[in-house]
Amino acid sequence: MDFFQAIILSIVEGITEFLPISSTGHMNLTRVVLGIPNTQFFTSFEIFIQLGAILAVVLLYGKTLLRKPEVWKKIMAAFIPTAIVGFILGKFIKQYLTSNEVITVIALFVGGILLIALELLHKEKDHHAEDIEKISYKHAMIIGLCQAIAVIPGVSRSAATVIGALFLGTKRKAAIEFSFLLAIPTMCAATVFDLKDANFAFSSQEMMLLAIGFIGSCITALFAIKFLLRFIKNHTFIPFGIYRIIVAIVFWFFILK
């Protein structure tokens, strides 16, 4: 991996981590396009740049978590199902699914259809939860269970939580903000799980690549989060569903084939 590839990957991670289009899927497919081998360093690089994206959420929502402990409690309730699934299936997923481009493309396609279908059926109503504090603990845990499906590459953690939240009667802004905040414990736990077997024997050039990826993903994620919050004020998630389907078709016929 060179510095140009590190910059491209950090931008892809920052943009896709919080949009409902699957960051893992895009990272896998971008790796294929750039011709980067699936080495141990690439795995470590993915983990570090995810932390950069998480830092963006902390910078934007840190005060909310400190001032509203009820929000943090709801987030942790949602994290429990994801943690259980990750603990039980983590090794299997990492060994057999994470780098499988075919599964990634299929999940992108199916997820796009589901996102479009839900939006066509979903109608926001006045009694729907308009902020995280109004989401019940029961619903929070169900949303967390939906997020657990995102262990399959290409599903999208953001899309899974948003779909679950909308289905349970949550307004779009609250659903997407819940997804942002739920990423903090989820991705921090995933990082600890992934790094426990790492030897951290990086060269000086690899350390530079990690730093570039971390900073690049953080900056890009800040813009992506702000964009999504503005976008959903007047739009649905249907464009993201269409985008997922197009990307899946393009990669299936022009790259994987």
How many residues are given for the chain? 257
Read off the pLDDT of residues 114-162 as tens digits, 9 standing for 90 and up: 999 988 887 778 778 888 989 999 999 999 999 888 888 788 888 899 9
- For residue 44, the model assigns a pLDDT of 81
What is the mean pLDDT of the segment spanning 189-214? 80
Q: Which residue has the higher pLDDT, 128 or 213?
A: 213
What is the mean pLDDT of the segment spanning 20-47? 86
In the chain, what are the domain boundaries?
Answer: 3-256
Read off the pLDDT of residues 24-37 as tens digits, 9 standing for 90 and up: 888 888 998 899 98
Read off the pLDDT of residues 225-245 as tens digits, 9 standing for 90 and up: 999 999 998 888 999 999 999
What is the mean pLDDT of the segment spanning 88-98? 70
Distance CA 40, CA 162 (A): 31
